[in-house]
Structure 1
Amino acid sequence: MSDIQPGGPVIAPEENPVPASQQNVKAAKPASLWTDAWHDLRRNPVFIISCGIIAVLVVMAVWPSLFSPLDPFDARTCDLVTARQGPSNGHPFGRDNLGCDLYARTVYGAANSLVIGISTTIAAAIIGGLAGLVAGFFGGKTDTVASRITEIFFAIPSILGALLIGSTFRDSGFGIWLVVAALTILGWPMTFRIMRAAVITAKNQDFVVAAKALGAGSGRIMFRHLLPNALAPVIVITTINLGGFIAAEAALSYLGVGVPPSEISWGLMISDAQRRFLDAPLPLIFPAVFLSITVLAFIMLGDAVRDALDPKLR
């Protein structure tokens, strides 16, 4: 006998209930190149090690007194009687040819190297990036003229050109900023080429065509659409170039046209120490080791960033 009473309400069969665990699931945010790159970088030991070394160097450059209680700019800390002495209590690296504390000078030398390297990198990235963006977007005569100018700068050997600029304007009073200007003038063409190639590849994509169809101006297309999509290779080359600029500053200082003698630089320390290297090798070894570690750290960082941002390497 049926349990359904005549004229009673019709109850719809219950649908399969949705599990509570699935009711709170939110739509996943679509992954992007930068999200994937950061995910890879956080798990890359090369990136972590290089960032750790760079962080220590930055703190050393900004607050050198945290690492050394002695002020190498104070002449009272130098004593010719103790020149070229080995490591001792209170002087872990020994003393240089003038009897100054080698450890303090090495610590304080990080500031000029990092300031010159970072300033040159930023200036070269801005100049080369903007020029490459404009040349790649407009093409035609603009691209031709910009490319020919770039080839002229590429034909000049970097160290030789910087040496010429430094020796010509040595007495101008610009100090370390003369080194920044010399390296920037000869360092921006590489960024130009990378940015130009990335923009030429990106400007034919559908999102750029759509932006043009909607009436977007050239400035909006370049800075809102093309620039973010062309930044990845520029960031990679910029990071690697930073280590190269630091090494170039040391080379110019070694040759006597870089950091003024009144300042402290690893290149100047190496130049002063090489004259008495056989008698006292430590004054040359310690700044050379710090310079090598710094350059290597930025090259390692650039390699890690390249591996994370290049989809072909995934």
Structure 2
Amino acid sequence: MPEPEPQPYDPVGPGENEAVAPTGQGGAMDLALDEAESLEKPLDPDPSAPRERARSLWSDAWHQLRRNPVFVISSLFILFLVVISLWPQLIASGDPLHCELSKSQQGSSPGHPFGYDTQGCDVYTRTVYGARASITVGICATLGAALLGSALGGLAGFFGGWGDSLLSRVADIFFGIPVVLGGLVFLSVVTSTTVWPVVGFIVLLGWPQLARIARGSVITAKQNDYVQAARALGAGNARILLRHVAPNAVAPVIVVATIALGTYIALEATLSFLGVGLRPPTVSWGIDISNAASQIRNAPHMLLWPALALSLTVLAFIMLGDAVRDALDPKLR
């Protein structure tokens, strides 16, 4: 049987008249080509499937906060405090200023679960109505300090210059004033029985902290590339500050202000305990704690309930601030 003649080696490859094996009939080269084509062509999305939008910082923070039990519990408790501050008669039908000396320092009884104080007033009713003054002072003082501090600190950090130096020196002066000593001096000459002198004092000593936080956030935000791009496109200082810098610098201010709200409530109670904060006939937890301090051995219930309400309120705002901080700071996730 004759052997087949060997074919000559053709380095060029198959000619024009020779058939080429179609892709997919085997071989490592065909497999590599198929895989490359599958990588180059993206998968066609299902038109019926919902498209997931990219979340912003605030939507991503809210997405995380809703799943944080600390945030949920503290928010529900704060919401309860706000509701009873606005409408205390929902859970307390009595009058906090109605007192009967014949029931002085008596313990709990039907309809009066917290007992009576030295003047014969219902401790439960006064504890419920005391939330109004504390929440009002805390919220108003926080809003005032946050607005004033954010405005001054943001402008100083954005424009810099002599205004920034002046604000820093003025803030250092206020930082050097002891809070309790300043309250004793400032509020001792005030004769008003409303909450506004206390609110004004807290704003006066609280804005430097928030101003320093806002200043640092604005200085960091204005150095970002998108701010430089907006300036290169001809945007003015007002537009850059309001549209680009402020939204990205406000998160630290919100966190600090939320935590500070609880400390402001505690500060109001401290000043009222010392006799220079809120004064009767205003109903306040600090006033009730001050009246009960001397009778703690004979009637501990007079001190227990307003002190417990104050502690839970401060703790709720601090927990809320911690949860907001964890949600707004990506480094803590």
TM-score normalized with structure 2 length: 0.85
| Aligned-pair CA distance for 1:21 | 7.7
| Aligned-pair CA distance for 1:163 | 2.1
| Aligned-pair CA distance for 1:28 | 2.8
Aligned pair 1:137/2:158, yes or no? yes
Listed one character per residue, the Cα deviations across residues 35-85 of structure 1 (whole Å, up to 9, x for unaligned) are 111111000000001011101111111110011110113x3xx11111000
Aligned pair 1:84/2:105, yes or no? yes
Listed one character per residue, the Cα deviations across residues 120-162 of structure 1 (whole Å, up to 9, x for unaligned) are 0000000000011101001121111111111111111122212
Aligned pair 1:292/2:311, yes or no? yes
Counterpart AA for 2:184: L
Structure having the higher Rg: 2
Contact 2:157 2:216 in 1 (8 A): yes
Choose from 161, 164, 176 the match for 1:155.
176
Counterpart AA for 2:104: A
Choose from 212, 215, 218 the match for 1:193.
212
C-alpha distance in 2, partners of 1:191/1:29? 34
Contact 1:176 1:260 in 2 (8 A): no
C-alpha distance in 2, partners of 1:150/1:21? 56
Choose from 231, 246, 262 the match for 1:227.
246
Hey, what does 2:14 align to over in structure 1? none
Hey, what does 2:286 align to over in structure 1? 267
Listed one character per residue, the Cα deviations across residues 74-131 of structure 1 (whole Å, up to 9, x for unaligned) are x3xx111110000001100000000011100000000000000000000000000001
**More deviation in 25-34 or 158-167?**
25-34
Counterpart AA for 1:88: S
Unmatched 5+ stretches in structure 1: 1-17
C-alpha distance in 1, partners of 2:202/2:117? 29
C-alpha distance in 2, partners of 1:60/1:206? 47
Tell me the SS of whatever aligns to 2:294. Answer: helix
| Aligned-pair CA distance for 1:179 | 0.1
| Aligned-pair CA distance for 1:26 | 5.0
Unmatched 5+ stretches in structure 2: 1-41
Aligned pair 1:41/2:65, yes or no? yes
Tell me the SS of whatever aligns to 1:276. Answer: coil
C-alpha distance in 1, partners of 2:59/2:206? 30
Contact 1:162 1:186 in 2 (8 A): no
TM-score normalized with structure 1 length: 0.90
Tell me how large the CA RMSD over aligned residues is.
1.5
C-alpha distance in 1, partners of 2:149/2:291? 35
Structure showing the higher helix proportion among its residues: 1
Counterpart AA for 1:95: Y
C-alpha distance in 1, partners of 2:315/2:142? 16
C-alpha distance in 1, partners of 2:270/2:43? 67
**More deviation in 18-27 or 96-105?**
18-27
Hey, what does 1:53 align to over in structure 2? 77
| Aligned-pair CA distance for 1:174 | 6.5
| Aligned-pair CA distance for 1:19 | 10
Aligned pair 1:301/2:320, yes or no? yes
